[in-house]
Each structure stands twice: as structure tokens, then as C-alpha cells.
Structure 1
Amino acid sequence: MTNNPLLTQWSTPHDIPPFDQIEVAHFAPAFDAALDEARATCAQIAANPDAPTFSNTIVGMEFGSALLDRVASIFYHLAGTQSDPAIEELMRALSPRMAAFSSEMLQDQALFARVDALWQQRDRFDLAPEEARVLDLYHRMFIRAGAALDEDGRKRLSAIMQRLAELGTSFTQNLLADERDWSVTLTEDDLTGLPDDLRNTMRSDDGWNLTLSRSVVVPFLESSTCRDLRETAWKAWTARGANGGPTDNRDVAAEILALRHERAQLLGFADFASYKLDTEMAKTPDNVRALLMDVWTRAQAKATTDAEQLRGLIAADGQNHDLAGWDWRLYAERQRAIEHNFDAAALKPYFTLGGMIEAAFDVSARLFGLSFRKLDIALPHPDAMAWEVLRGEEHVGVFIGDYFARAGKRSGAWCSRLRAQAGPVRPIVTNVCNFAKGDPALLTFDDARTLFHEFGHALHHLLSEATYPMVSGTSVARDFVELPSQLYEHWLSEPEILRKHARHYRTGEPIPQDLLDKLLAAETFGQGFATVEYVASALVDLDFHTGTPPTDPMAAQAETLERIGMPAAIPMRHATPQFAHIFAGDGYSAGYYSYMWSEVMDADAFAAFRETGDSFNPEMAEKLATYIYSAGGTRPPEELYTAFRGRMPGPEALLQGRGLTG
């Protein structure tokens, strides 16, 4: 295609992709050309008759697939935010093809011979610290991709990786289909208890639509007084991916687990958890389990106490039913109102999407000296917004936010990049959320926390100062990557930020002091529920990948939950058929624990600011930028955190922050 915008130079501001020119039909030929170019580059490096050096081997691989990186980043962004049948068909074709290309390159014996020779003789070269780090990571990447296996082992591992790519795509598309295809039309009689903003969000031409968008189903469970409808919604929400038929994910999960185990054993590890954790901060499954069980014991006790209180509210309502999963959120909101004289509906008008975006920007200005200039450019979707990020007059990068739920958009929230930072090249970063659209869009406090979380990831990209893409931005250990995002959440709760940016959408008045006091006092409310649902999911993930994999994941999930004493009325945050974190790809597989591992650090890191008496302490902010947000993976995470804090943390600050120390 001679006019394919993916294969031409762009004249757009800051080299932002020309989204108004890109069509789905452009991607197949663009991937063909990009894969050919990447293969040619690798072949040229492998055939180089000169002795391997960092420059003629590693640097060539680092920048030799720029076109492929560009095409893939745009495609996967669109696949996650506005999928349709054409994109899904292309995704199914591309997933095994991309996996095959990765195996082909990382198992190439001539290429590996150069990397291995360079690594074996690394002390002979005058490598800068970042170069030495990148070389170590490249050598490790080749080894873990099977380059050191015999021919039969390499072939089998390549086949496994292609099949895993196919299965991950199927898992994602099945889950999206279940979420997209389920809805119930309600009448006005079905809306009792629902706040006005939720009613407005659900309004359609033929009534009110209850969907499985998290921005709809969760507030519905928190407010609806129609118990039968809560049960219907809760069961549909928790059954995603397990409804039988072509979108059922249970067999998909079982095959993924079996193939991961075989992959790990081919590479010399006892099981997949041992393989996965070998390169993480945690190192071993035992270390992960120790942290999770320490927190679990306290959270389970708190949740048990909370459940008795909620049963008391049910009885006070004159009801004779037990506390079920579809009851917990409603009665928890009532209990919070009793304990803290707190009404979530009264809070929401102060949390506009625009106000919370400005709050996130304001914190980054105070900590890191950033400013944001709105851009009027073509973007992936009409709902998206873009800003140029500046430090003084210096261009730092481009930030794109796509915040509203819609059909074809994967559920949840995430950060990704359309271009990585590398040397003088500045990044283009996206945040994607699934908030309910409104005029204006009003957020819950949890929504605002999610916005801050994802913006923390974006800052990890935007502030990056690495030379090589391998170690720029969020290219760090999985159990370190959530530190910058979770740490950033803490500044949302700072009173001066809330007083400035939490303003009533009609009057513009700041949040009243008494309401602010109630909000902050109630921050640890419900942590028994939140911690139990999370840790249960993390323990199931760990059990799945430790030892022999289960042939029946649902039975294995039930065994884990019974062993740890899972409260009957609390579901896992992500039950197996919808656990996209660990089954849509390898990212968080045997690694869902990493949110809590990082939380140990983020709680301790924010305590470092609090200890100075200033949550925006300039000296601490400078160290935070230098060692956490800007350093990427240029040094091992333990070194970076210790350079920032002076020591590694224990779990005390985490337990205190979650209100689990009593």
C-alpha cells in the first residue's frame, strides 16, 4: 500500500501517529514490512564478520526494530480501546506470528553466539554502567527464550510460545465478548436506591441498561435496594468467561497452565513460578507466599468482623437472609455511613474528571516541575485528550488520556506507550480507564485513585532518562513496576490537593471541610474486603504456577480458597475465567502478588515524605525523580530503592496504611 501512513514519515506535532489517516486495513501490510525489516536487521548483525562489540551487536538490536515497535504499539492500543471484528480477526492472526518472530530472533544461534561472546568477555570492554546492565539483560533474555537449548528444545519452546499467544488472545476476546454482550433493561421501578448520576449513565432509549461495565455494575451493587437484581448483576459479573459455549475460558486457562509448566521445565526450572520469580525482586515462591499469608491473616480477621456487622444491618432491615456476595457492597456503604457519617453520593459531585486530571497534573508540577499544554490533534478516539508535557520550555513528552467506558474497550485501566523514551527521543504515553461518561463525568474516590495510579505509570515513562529502550520507563522488574503508580496515589489524599481540586461541578465550591474530614477518616474503611479479595487472587495465581499445574483450574481455585478460609460472601477480585492479568498474557502470571510487593515499598516511600513534615519536600522529590521515576531499569530495583530510602522496607507501613495493625 503506497499510501500506508504506518510506513511513511509523519509531519505531525511531536511525531504523534496520524490517527485520522490510519485504517485497520493498513496494519497487515505494515506488519509484513516491519517484520521483514526487523528480520533483515537481525540477519545483518548475526552475519557481521567483525568481532562482537556492544555497538555492532546490542545497539543494533536495540534500535533495529523501530518500525515494528511503532506499528505494534499503535495496533495494540487500538485493539484494547476500540476492538471490532476486523481488529479481533487480525489479532488472532498476529499473536502466534509475533510469538514466532520473537522465538526466531531470540533462538537464532549466530545472534546468540555474538551476545554470549560479548557477555563472556564483558570485563574486557569499557562499558558504561547502563551498557553493562543492558548487556546483562540481553544475555538473560536470550537464555530465557531458549537460545541455549538443543534444536529439539528450541523447536518445542517456539511452538509453546506460539500456542500461548493464541490462547492469550482467545482469553481476552472471550472475556470482552461476555462483558459486551450482557445487559438487562430496567424500568423505573427497578431503580430504587440508585443515585442520579448512575441513573443518567444507564439511561437509554428504551429504559435503563444494566451492563457489566465496572463503572456501572459496581455502583449498582453499592446502591440498588432490589436484591434480586443485585443477585442477577453479581452472578453475571462473577461468571464472565465461565458461561459455557465458545467464550468459555476454563479450558483455555487449563491449557495455558500446562504449557507454562512445560516451558519452565524445558528451561531447567521446577515450575513456572520458579522460572518467573527468578528475575524479580521476590526471587522465590516462598518469599511471595510469606508476605501474602502475613497480610492474609490480618485481612481475614478484619473481614470476618466486618461481615458480622453487615449481618447485623441485614437483620435491622427486617431481612432473614444471610450475607451474600451481592449484599456486601450495599451494606458496607451503609456501615460506612454509620461509622463515619459518610455519604458517598454527597462526595461524588466534587470529583469531576476534569478536576482530578488537574489534580494529578498539579501534584506532578509540585514534585517534578512539570506543566501540561493541551493539544488539538487527531487522536485514536473522539473521547481521548492529549497534552504536551513540559519542564519549563523543555519538551518532556506527550500524554494521551482515554477515560470513558464504551463497547469494544477492554475493561479495567492501564498505561501503555506509543513511543518509548530512549536518549533524546521523548515518549508518547497513554492512560486508558473505563469511567462512566457524563456531563460532566463524576468520579468516585476509587475512580480518582485509579486515575492517579495510571498517571503514576505515565510519569515513569515521561520522566525516564535512559539511553536504551531495554531499560527505559516501566521496563523494570514486575514487582517494582507498581511502585511509581501506587506511590502516586498517596498524593490524591493530601488535604491541600483535595481542597484545591475537589470542587462541586455546579457551584465550583471546594469540598467542605467536614466532608473532607469524613473522607480522609474513612480511607481505611473496607480494607478487610479489599485486601481479602486481592490476596485470595494472588494466592490462587501463585498456587496455579507452583508445582504440577492443575488439570481443572476451577477445582484448584476452590481448594486454595478453602485452605485459606475465604469468607463465603467475598469473591476473588479476579476469578480464574476472567483473570486477564495472568491469562491474557505472561505479564502478571505468577506475579499478581507484585501489587502488594510494591505496596510495601510505596507505603514506606511516602512515609519518607511524611517524616520530613512536608508531603512535597523538594529534597525527597528530587531523590524520588532521580532514583525511581527517571532511572527505569538502568540499575537493579533493590539498588534504586535503597539509593532513594537508604534501606529496604518491611511491611509495617503497608499494614498501617490498610488499617490492619490492630
Structure 2
Amino acid sequence: MMTNNFQTKQSVLLFFTLMILASCKQEKKELIHDNILLKEWTGPYGGVPAFDQINIKDIKPAMLKGMELKLKEIDAIANNKELATFENTIVEMERAGAEFDRVNKYYGVLSSNMSTPEFREIKTELSPVLSEFNSKISQNEKLFQRIKTVYEASLENPLPTDQQRVLNLTYKRFEMNGAKLSPQKKARYTTINKELSSLYTKFSNNVLHDEENYVTYLNASQLDGLPEEFIKSAAKTATDKGQEGMYAITNTRSSIDPFLTYSNERDLRKLVFNNYYSRGDNGDDYDNNKLVAKILKLRRERVELLGYKNYAEWRLQDRMAKTPEKAMELMEAVWPAAIARVAEEVKDMQAVADKNGDQITIAPWDYRFYAEKVRKEKYDLDSDEVKQYLQLDKLTEAMHYVAGRLFNYQFTPLPRGTVPVFHDDVKVWEVTNKTTEENIGLWYLDPYAREGKRSGAWANQYRSYSTFDGKKNVLASNNSNFVKPAPGEALLVSWDDATTFFHEFGHALHFFSANVKYPTLNGGVRDYTEFQSQLLERWLLTDDVINNYLVHKKNGQPMPAELITKIKNAATFNKGFITTEYLASAIMDMKFHLADPSNIDVDKFERETLTELNMPKELPMRHRTPHFSHVFSGESYATAYYGYIWADVLTADASEAFAEAPGGFYDEEMANKLIKYLFAPRNAIDPAKAYRLFRGRDAKIEALMKDRGFSVAK
């Protein structure tokens, strides 16, 4: 009888447990029923975002509900009475928050691609809430104790390699975000994060304001020297802004670069230059200097709570460089050669100006203009002539060709309306394995600049690859800011823009080629993930791409051999400018975070640091501090902007491996190693180990110096 009573009680308990679970699931369904942004993605290709149904009014309630639902799932994991294991703790954490992840994708698209004044208000309200939400997870004491239990057990009995990597990354992430702090320090840590999140949003909004509101309108008499295609685009942009008959130079890089390169109007070049490089630094309500000072102080205080001397020391511990000293060592090794090359470039430009009788001394707004004249004189290479062969549509085909040769991918354009998009400019391709015809995912391309879209170019993914809960395909996007051409005109881009286009596609290929079980392993190490994308840039100069896709916009003829030779001969041209403008920003980023921020004057610190560096007066930093969004509108690049030069050492070294292979850049064996060791593992392997598996040794800085045509110090 005792056994039967016990079994009866167990059955009743099981019945009520199932009822409660069913009730919870039903409640969850009802909670998300009315908000499309929380709903599971439906439709073809494993389900796709309902971009066509985004309503700005749905964003805030959906984000709040998504956070609430995820926190409930996290609390359930933290309060589990069973002994903590990898399966019931780490795997459940990997699984938690599906609704929040979905709405957060929409939130990210609006933030980067479709920001409006109404959305910016919502973002301002949500930023501190999101920060507090993240702190509630990263500082959940019960949750961390469970993670710690699993981690400590693994020190004696290691888990399978991929599980151990997920566990190590999870433990480190919690440790770095205050999980070991006392309750009092945790409270302060959370408060700092909330304040920082608001400052990041304000910084970003201020930059966007200055990009949108400093537009230079030209009349027909002020177009001397500008290419025909640029003039047509500028006219369309002006018309779109209600200035029919005028020509608009917007305050974005894609607009100012060609203007500064070709305009014969020096006073206008100076005006456009100052508008662009003064973003966030105009002494008005949108000035970012005081915000930067606050950000630096709060970042220092926060890491001091964790026992670190400065923000850079804290940030770099899980990067390839490991320490700020290592990162600075690389930058300081390259800097002297870079500014020495700038001096040579300026001398050449001044000679051209003097020869023309221009009676000027090269200033920052002259650099691109006279560099182009030197290019023509020294290499007989006209950038506008090259541009006639760089059509965006053909470059897109070229990237797909490279992906087919290296990764065995097929890109098939989808008819408009097949899947929802967030703007009519967005095009979508299905990505499949050419051999098996298996769907790899979808590739979204959003190429054009618009109001509310942040400047620059970037890649992201709406869904990443994983298999732990069933195989998921990849939804990836590339986003650019090309000035939209006039109707019926081909979009022609500069060589630099074409290189960037390939670069960002490299990120997308990194997403598509992932072969990992757990979502955490899809993350990246900042000074490593730029390597894969920078490496893909090298295929732009391969013969297959040049001969088949770089064709003239009018007659479709391939780029002539003599022009190709000129391009290759000029491969190291202007590398002083390119390296110095970048490195100045990267060094400034590091020095700001190593300095004592207690009484910092941001503008003064920037000027004094540039003086100490012997920064050439003829060019600016790529990103001046008041608009350095990489570093001050969030934290992913803070003390990590050096990562591009770190990754370029790997890039130059890996390029030599391809160049030396029997099949060159399309060598099958090298391509297989590229995928196996550098693309597919994502963050499942320590980056330094992964590179050694690919190359058989560590990368050498000499490859970078040779690649840029710099002298190597003995």
C-alpha cells in the first residue's frame, strides 16, 4: 500500500507540474500574440523576419516584454534545485531569450538603418533599461554560482572541446562583467552601466544630427572638376531634400570623399572638410566633448571596481593582443614608417601644386585632391577612369563568383516580395551549396545612404548558424552608404569603396561558413574577426575578377591590361595617408583609455597627443574623437580599434601563403584550409591557435610592412 500511495502522489505531482508548464506556455503565447516583433519567424528559408510589418509603436512594448520573458527563463535556470551541469545550465542559457533575440534584431535594424526622430526617443528611453536588463543577467548571483560549479568541475574533468570552449567563454564573460563583486559594488557597477548606455545613445544621436543637418548645397557654377556621375547623384539628393536645381554634398564619407578628390573649388573643399571633421565638435547642444569625458571617467571607475588599472587592461585580456602594451607595440612599430611615407607624399603633392602655379601650401582639404593629381602624374592612373569599370552590380557578381570558387556557394537573387525587407532598396539572395543544393541561408544587401542610416559600411546577421537545437541556417546582411545614382545610371564606386565592399562581404562569408554547435561560439574576437574580412579584399585584384567583372559601364569591355598594370604598380600609392589617418585614431583610442580621466579636457588631450605623435598637419585622423562612434557610441571597438592593423598583419601574412600556392588565390588546398581553420570554427578555437593551424607558424609583421611598401627597421 505504501508503494501505491507513493506512486499516486508522484503521479499527482507530475500531473500538476505538467499543468503548470502548459499554463506557462499558454501564458507566454498570449503575451506575444498581439506583437509581431516577438513572434517566431515564419515563411520560407527556416522563417524570416517580418520586416514589412515593423511598426514603430510596437518596438518599446516588444522590447520590454522580450526582456521580461528572458529574465524569467534565466531565473528558472538560476533557481534550478538540481546539481548544476553543462546541460541544465550552460545549454539552457544558450537556449534562453528567443523572443528577446527576435525583437532585438528589429531594434538593431531600426537603430542602424532606419533611425527616425521618433525611434531615437524610444532608443533614449530604452538604453538604460537594456543596460539594467543585461546587468540582471551578468550579476545574477545564483546563476553565476551554477556556472562556477560547472566550470570548476571541468577543471578536473574537462568537457568535450566545443563544450569546454563555450563554458570558458561564458565564465570569463560573467567574471569580466562583475559577477564576483560584492552586492554594494554590483549596485554601483549596474548604475555605471545604465549611465553609460544613455551617454552612448546621446553620442550616437548627436553624430547623426550633425550628419543630417550640415549639408552643402551647390549651384551649377560650383561643380568644376566633379565627375558626371557624382553631379547627377548630387542633383538627385538635392531634389529628394526639396532643393530642386541644386546639388547636395551630404555630411557623410561617401559624399565628401569624391568631392574632396575632384572639386577644383578650394574654398568649398575647405567648407565640406570642416563640416565633416567637426561632427560632434561644434560647441552647441550636439557637442560630444563633455560626453566623451564622462564616458572615460565612468569606464575607468567601472573597471577599477573589478581590480583593473584601466579600461584597456580589462578589455584586451580576451583579445589576441592580450595587453594594451602588445597592441601599442605593433602600432608604434608601424607609425614611424607611415608618417615618413606621408612626408614623401606631401612633397610630391606640393611639387604638383607649385608646378601648376597654385600658390598654396598643402592643407588637409587638399590631400585627396593633389594625391589624385600625383597618381595621374606618377602612375598615369586616373581614379575616375578606374571608376568607370567599378559598377556595384558587377562587383556584387564578382563577390558571388569568389564565394563560389572558395566556399562552393551559389547566390541566387530572389524576386522582389519573396521575403519581407525593411526598405525598397534592400535586395535578397538565397545562398546554397553548389554541390548538394542545400540552403545555407539568405544574404540581404542594403547599399544606399539615406536619412536615419548610420554612416560607413557594416555586416550583421539576423540569425546565426547553430545545431544544438536543430540546424539553423544563416540570415546575413551587408550595409553600405553609397550615394544612390540617378535613375537609369549605373552606380560607379571608387577603388577604395570597392575594397570596402569586398571587406564587408568577407564578414558575411564568415557568418555563412560557420560550423559550430552553440550560439556563443558564433561570437568573435575583435582583433581577429577583421582578419577574415580584410583577407577577402585581396580577391578584388585577382585576374579572374578583373577580367570578368571589372567591365566598362558603357561598352561592357573588360578593363584593359595597361590599366590593370597601372593599378598594380600603384598598389602602395597613398599608403602613408591610409595608414596614418587610421593609426592616429587607433592610437588615440588606446591613449584615451590609458590616461587618467579624472580631469581630462578631451579637445586638449586630442591636440596634445597628436603633437606628441608628430602627426602630419596635412591630414586628419580618420575619426576625430567627438564623432568616433566605433569607440564612444558603444563598447565593441573601445580600445580595440587597433584590431584592424593587428588583423592586417595576419592578412598580409596569409596573402603571401596564397600567392605562393600552386593555384594562387584560387588554390583548392589553400581554400580548404582557409575554411577549415579560419572561417568555419568562428570562436570555437583560440584565434592564435587557429592561425598557426592554417599557416604552420605565427604571422610576421614583415609581411605587413612589405605589403604597404614601408621600410622595415633593422
| TMscore range, shorter length | over 0.9
Structure 2 Cα separation of the partners of residues 600 and 90 of structure 1: 41
- How much has 1:279 moved relative to structure 2? 1.1
- Whether the aligned pair in 1 keeps the contact of 2:432 and 2:438 (CA below 8 Å) is yes
- The question of 1:627 aligning with 2:694 is answered no
Instruction: Name 2:446's counterpart in structure 1.
Output: 402
Partner of 1:558: 607
Preserved contact between residue 252 and residue 276 of structure 2 (Cα < 8 Å): no
Q: How does 1:494-643 map to 2 (within 5 A)?
A: 494-549=542-597, 551-613=600-662, 614-643=664-693
Q: Superposed, which structure 2 residues align to 1:376-415 within 5 Å?
A: 376=415, 377-392=419-434, 393-415=437-459
Q: 2:387 aligns with which of 348, 353, 358?
A: 348
Q: Is the 8 A contact 1:539 1:560 kept in 2?
A: no
3-state SS of paired residue (1:246)? coil
Deviations for 1:591-623, whole angstroms, at most 9, x for unmatched residues? 110000000001111111111141111111111
Cα deviations by residue, 1:478-527 (Å, 9 ceiling, x for unpaired): 11110110000001111221111011122111111111111222121100
Deviation at 1:454, TM superposition (A): 0.3
What residue in structure 1 maps to residue 519 of structure 2?
469
Aligned to 2:348: 309
Supply the distance in 1 between the matched residues of 2:33 and 2:513 (Cα, whole angstroms): 37
The 1-side partners of 2:179 and 2:246 are apart by: 59
Contact 1:168 1:584 in 2 (8 A): yes
Residue 429 (structure 1) aligned with residue 476 (structure 2):
yes
Kindly provide the CA deviation profile for residues 207-260 of structure 1, in whole angstroms up to 9, marking residues without a partner as x: 111221212111000000111000100111110011122211111111111111
Task: Select the residue among 181, 192, 208 that pairs with 2:247.
Answer: 208
Query: 8 Å contact 2:281–2:288 — kept in the other structure?
Result: yes
Match of 2:461 in 1: 417
Q: Name the structure 1 match of 2:39.
A: 8
Q: Distance in 2 between matches of 1:311 and 1:126?
A: 64
Structure 2 residue 327 is matched with structure 1 residue 288: yes
TM-score by structure 2 length? 0.91
Matched with 1:90 is 122
Specify the SS of the correspondent of 1:421: coil
Name the aligned partner's letter for residue 115 of structure 2.
S
Matched to 2:704, the amino acid is L
- Partners of 1:266 and 1:289 lie apart in 2 by 25
| 1:628-656 alpha-carbon deviations (Å, 9 max, x no partner) | 11101001111111111111111111111
- Which of the numbers 286, 290, 302 marks the counterpart of 1:251? 290
Q: Specify the SS of the correspondent of 1:428.
A: strand
Shift of 1:276: 0.7
The answer as to whether partners of 2:39 and 2:99 remain within 8 angstroms in 1 is no
Greater displacement, 88-97 / 130-139: 88-97
Matched, 1:224 2:263: yes
Query: What is the Cα deviation at residue 3 of structure 1?
Result: 3.6
Q: Does 1:446 align with 2:496?
A: yes
Task: Give how far 1:367 is off.
Answer: 0.6
Residue identity in the other structure for 2:472: V
Partner amino acid, structure 1, of 2:611: E
> Which residue identity does 1:653 align to in structure 2?
A
* Cα contact 1:12–1:18 (8 A) shared by 2: no
Secondary structure, aligned partner of 1:74:
helix
The answer to whether residue 49 in structure 2 is matched with residue 17 in structure 1 is yes
The 5 Å alignment of 1:252-267 reads 252-267=291-306
Does the CA-based 8 Å contact 1:328-1:569 persist in structure 2?
A: yes
Which of 188, 198, 219 is residue 166 of structure 1 equivalent to?
A: 198
1:649 to 693, 699, 702: 699
Per-residue Cα deviation, 1:279-308 (whole angstroms, up to 9, x for no partner) = 111111111111101110101111011111
2:51–2:106: 8 Å Cα contact kept in structure 1?
Answer: no
For 1:442 and 1:318, the matched residues in 2 are separated by: 32
Listed as ranges, the matches of 1:170-181 within 5 Å are: 170-181=202-213
Contact 2:38 2:102 in 1 (8 A): no
Cα distance in 1 for residues equivalent to 2:562 and 2:666: 24
CA distance in 1 between partners of 2:324 and 2:217 (Å): 46
Range with greater deviation from structure 2 (69-78 or 231-240): 69-78
Query: Which residue identity is paired with 2:298?
Result: L
- Give the 3-state SS of the residue equivalent to 1:209 in structure 2: strand
Is residue 507 of structure 2 the alignment partner of residue 457 of structure 1?
yes
Identity of aligned residues (%): 36
SS at match of 2:444: strand
Q: Alpha-carbon deviation of 1:627? A: 0.9
Unaligned runs of 5+ in 2: 1-31
Which amino acid counterpart does residue 432 of structure 1 have in structure 2? N
- Structure 1 residue 124: Cα displacement: 5.0
From the superposition, tell whether residues 536 and 460 of structure 1 become closer, same or farther in structure 2 (CA, over 3 Å): same
Q: Note if 1:478 corresponds to 2:526.
A: yes
- SS of the residue aligned with 1:350? coil
How far apart are residue 2 of structure 1 and its match? 4.3
| Aligned-partner Cα distance in 2 for 1:100–1:232 | 42
1:233 aligns with 2:275: no
**Distance apart, 1:547 and its partner CA:** 3.7
Matching residue of 1:144: 176
The whole-number CA distance in structure 2 between the counterparts of 1:98 and 1:471 is 23
Letter of the structure 2 residue corresponding to residue 659 of structure 1: G
Aligned equivalents of 1:478 and 1:126: distance in 2?
27
The one-letter code matched in structure 1 to 2:614 is: G
Give the letter for the 2:98 counterpart: A
- Match for 2:534: what amino acid? Q
> Is the partner of 2:665 in helix, strand or coil?
coil
What secondary structure sits across from 1:631 in the alignment? Answer: coil
Shift of 1:27: 1.4
- Provide the rounded CA distance (Å) in 2 between the counterparts of 1:604 and 1:65: 40
Q: CA deviation at 1:588?
A: 0.7
Aligned-pair CA distance for 1:185: 1.6
Would you say the 8 A contact 2:550–2:558 is kept in 1? yes
Query: Is 1:333 the equivalent of 2:383?
Result: no
Alignment match of 2:307 (pick from 258, 268, 271): 268
Contact 2:513 2:675 in 1 (8 A): yes
**Take 1:7 and 1:230, find their aligned partners in 2: how far apart are those partners?**
48
Q: How many residues align?
A: 660
CA distance in 1, matches of 2:503, 2:327: 23
Counterpart AA for 1:42: I
Which residue identity lines up with residue 271 of structure 2 in the other structure? T
Q: Which amino acid aligns with 2:35?
A: N
Q: Secondary structure at the match of 1:95?
A: helix
- Per the TM alignment, residue 357 of structure 1 is displaced from its structure 2 partner at its CA by 0.6
- What is the Cα deviation at residue 123 of structure 1? 3.8
Q: Work out which of the two has the higher radius of gyration on C-alpha atoms and give 1 or 2.
A: 2
CA distance in 2, matches of 1:477, 1:628: 12
